[in-house]
Each structure stands twice: as C-alpha cells, then as structure tokens.
Structure 1
Amino acid sequence: MKKFGLVGGIGPASTLDYYKGIIDAYRDKTGGVSYPLMVIDSLNLDEMYALAANKTWPEFTDRLVASVETLAAGGAEFAAMAANTAHIVFDAVSARSPLPLVSIVEETCKKARDGGCRRVIIFGTAFTMSSGLYADAFARYGIDAFVPTVEEQQAIHNVIFPNLQAGIVLPEDKNTVLRIARRMLAAENADALILGCTELPLIIKDGDLDAIILDTTRIHIEAIVNRLLA
C-alpha cells in the first residue's frame, strides 16, 4: 500500500477537510475495507502568512521544501500541499522536492476542461488572485480565467483571514462573497466559479449560485486518492 504525505497547517481548517476527505474517498473507492496510509506535517499558519504577505517567496519555498523532506523521512512516497497559495511557488518546490507532488492547480484545470468550461472566475486569497497562478494555468488549457477587481480581491481575502481560516462562517461574509461572484459571473458570461482557496468551500456551497462550482479541495483530494489506488 502506498503512503501519502500532506503539507498542512496553511490553514488548519482545510487540513482537517483533507484528512477526512481522503479517508472517506479512499474507503468509498475500496468498499470500506481499508484505510489510507498518511503522514501530515503541519506548518505554522502565522509564519507562512507573514512570508506570503511580505512576498518573501524564497523563504516561503524553503519552508515548504523542508516540510516535504519531513514527509519523505516519514515514509511518504508522494505528497501534496493543502493550500492554493502554496502553489504560487509550486514549480520551485517541485524542482527541489524529494517526492512527486500532486498539483491542485493542474488537477483543477483538467477538471474544468473535462467539464467543458470555457470561461471561469477565480476566487482565492489576494496572494493567489493577484499572482496570475490560475489564469496562466488555465490559458494552457484554452480556458479564459478572470479575477475580481483589486477592491473585491481584498474583500474576499478579508473573509478568508481571519474568519474562514479559523473555520468561522458569518452570514455577512457569505453575502459579500456571493455578491461578488454573481456580479462577475454575469459580467464575464462565465461557466464556472473556481474556489481557489481551500477554505472557500466552507462558505460557498452547491446551489448557492446559478453556475458550476469547482471546489479545488475536492478535486485535489480525488486526484490524491486516485494516486493512492493506482
């Protein structure tokens, strides 16, 4: 049986979702007769947030590489980072990683392509939305990707930090995020909304919008489990 490693802690709420989601999906696919082998290295969210906010990407990368090395030392055969923002430096981490890494961005692009999406809206942290991470990746798949205005990006970011990162969902926060989503979906004539932050599924659910909602956490978990069972 393969052993999987997860870089967690950024943030803790989404790491819990990954842990439970991987177990549930694995048991569903195996008929409930087994559990996956997994090791988690949980990073300090405050430290990682400060590095991202200050755009100290080399040190941010170093922390992620060190985490993957810890997972490898724990016997993991492949790994993933349980955060979209961490994927801003995915290529740099992957180049130094002792383990193969499953990319949340690439798996989401494949899912959107296979679903026939042509125009998508990207929500996430301000770091992710302003980086061009998803827009550049989707372009390689022939899909147009759009992000909110700078002001809207900050409003979404302020919902994620500190509330969603702590697992707190407030009605006024949900209203803010849905208002921006509805405006953008209409303005860009988009097919889908990409929940490009692993905490956003806490606040946006299927049925909230008249559009396809692609939950990057679920997509990533599915890819991880498929790799475990391959």
Structure 2
Amino acid sequence: MKTDTGAIGVLGGVGPYAGLDLMRKIFDQTRANCDQDHLSVIQFSLSEHIIDRTRFLLGETDENPGEAIGEIMVRMAEAGATVIGVPCNTAHSPRIMDKAVAMLHEAAPQARFVHMIDAVIAFIRENLPEARTIGVLSTKGTFATGLYQDALSGAGFVPLFPDEAGRERVQQAISNTEYGIKAQSNPVRPEARAALLGEAEALTAKGADAVILGCTEIPLALTEPDLHGVPLLDATKVLARALILAFAPDRLKQGS
C-alpha cells in the first residue's frame, strides 16, 4: 500500500471549466502507464463563494475575492493538498492573491502555493530564449492591474496587448452572457473563438514572438499550439507542469 504523501490542490470555480481543464492537463502531463501511476489531485469548485475577480479589480465591488480563495485553499490543505494552484490569471493580481496566500501560509504553512504568472515567465525564459516581444490576451481586470505588464517588463520582455477596442472584444468573448466562454464553454461559441482568434492574429501581425493566453478560459477556445509559427502559450498547461514539478518532479513528462 502506498504511503499518503499529499495531493495537488486545484482551486476550481474560477471559472468551473478552467478547473476541469487544469485537472485534465495535470493528467496529460504526468508520466503514467495505469490508473495507479497518476498523481493524487483534490479539486474544490465553489464558484458561488468567489465573486468575479475583474469586477473587484475595476472597483465595481468592495468584496475582495482573495478572502474566499484563501479560505478554500486552507480547506484544501486541511483535506491533504500540499501543493496548490489557482487556474485564474486575474486572481493572481497582488490585490487578490496576496490576501489569499497570506491566509494559506498562516493556517497551513506546510502547503506550497505555485504562482501561475511566475510559472509562465519561467517557461518563456527556458523555452523561448530568443523571444523579446510577448503578446497577451487577458481580461480587462488583468490588464488594468498591470499584472502581466509588470511581470514581463521585470523579466526583460516587451509586453504587447490589444488596443482598447480589442481588449473589450477579448473580455466579451470571455464574459458575455450570451456567447462568452463563461456562459458557454462546451462547446465554445463560434463568436467567442472568432474574437479571440482575431486579436491573437493582430498581436502576431504587430510583431509578437509569442502570445500568452492569459485567461484560463481562452485556451478552451484557442487550442492550436501556434498561429503562423508564433507560439500560443497556454498558461493553464504551464501551471499544470509547474504543479507536477513541485509535487512529483520525476513524474513530469518530458518536453513542453
């Protein structure tokens, strides 16, 4: 019988299909020949408890979703999660995530939090050493807080985003209540994919060496690995690999 060595914790519900997508990618990136070879994963998908991250960051509500995220991460740690990831780029804004991680470290100092944005930057440095200009598709909340701008600039890259109208098209592709991915994830509506594809192609035309799919709903729509030879970087897949590396490095599949 195997000794209990903990589990990877996936904080779902931000949105729900993003949590499922992260779990699938953890399984896909694990070296396994049978059921028993797969890593233990705990997912808590408690969407109703976590308010919209973009609304908070844009000042439309005073309720900080970091408190709910922190409470759920603590519950996952109590359930046995020793390495925890949150499949939501926007939630990694310091205004949200600093609160959540502080709650986790106070209540469960043995649990390790894997930071999605840091993992993406490390992935680019390792796998795309010649890249300089990095395009980003994200929510308006992520853009407004400068999350990727700061991370990319601090690492020596030049961040490139859609213009204001383009950012609105990306946001609508994610959150529109009629055709957005949060409302219709399986399958993604053609309108949402077309909007995201158009903005990604615009970034490649402006000279992006790679494009980060910087909202965990976007890889559900843009599943191709590249556009005209320009890599599309799936932040969810990057996080999956970083979680495996932190939890059981010998079980990580080779390659990216």
TM-score in terms of structure 2 length: 0.81
Deviations 1:102-122 (A, max 9, x none): 011011001111212211111
Q: How far has the Cα of 1:208 moved from its partner? A: 5.8
What is the DSSP-based 3-state SS (H/G/I as helix, E as strand, rest coil) of the residue aligned with 1:164? coil
Q: How far apart are the structure 1 equivalents of 2:225 and 2:118?
A: 25
Please point out which of 56, 65, 70 is paired with 1:65.
70
Q: How far has the Cα of 1:24 moved from its partner? A: 2.9
Q: How far apart are the structure 2 equivalents of 1:73 and 1:2?
A: 10
Residues 1:136 and 2:150 are matched in the alignment: yes
Q: What does residue range 1-20 of structure 1 map to in structure 2 within 5 Å? A: 1-20=5-24
- 1:190 aligns with 208
Show structure 1 runs of 4+ deviating over 4 A.
none
Please point out which of 210, 223, 226 is paired with 1:205.
223
- 2:236 aligns with 217
Does the CA-based 8 Å contact 1:122-1:146 persist in structure 2? yes
Distance 1:119 1:8, change over 3 A: same
What is the DSSP-based 3-state SS (H/G/I as helix, E as strand, rest coil) of the residue aligned with 1:138? helix
Please point out which of 52, 55, 58 is paired with 1:53.
55
Q: What does residue range 31-50 of structure 1 map to in structure 2 within 5 Å? A: 31-32=33-34, 33-44=36-47, 47-49=50-52
Does the CA-based 8 Å contact 2:10-2:42 persist in structure 1? yes
What is the DSSP-based 3-state SS (H/G/I as helix, E as strand, rest coil) of the residue aligned with 1:40? strand
Structure 2 unaligned spans of 5+:
250-256
- 1:175 aligns with 194
TM-score in terms of structure 1 length: 0.89
One-letter code aligned to 2:181: L
Q: How far has the Cα of 1:23 moved from its partner? A: 2.2
Q: How far has the Cα of 1:30 moved from its partner? A: 3.9
Q: How far apart are the structure 2 equivalents of 1:46 and 1:171?
A: 30
Q: Percent identity?
A: 25
Name the Cα RMSD after superposition: 2.0
- 2:123 aligns with 111
Distance 1:57 1:65, change over 3 A: farther
Q: How far has the Cα of 1:48 moved from its partner? A: 1.7
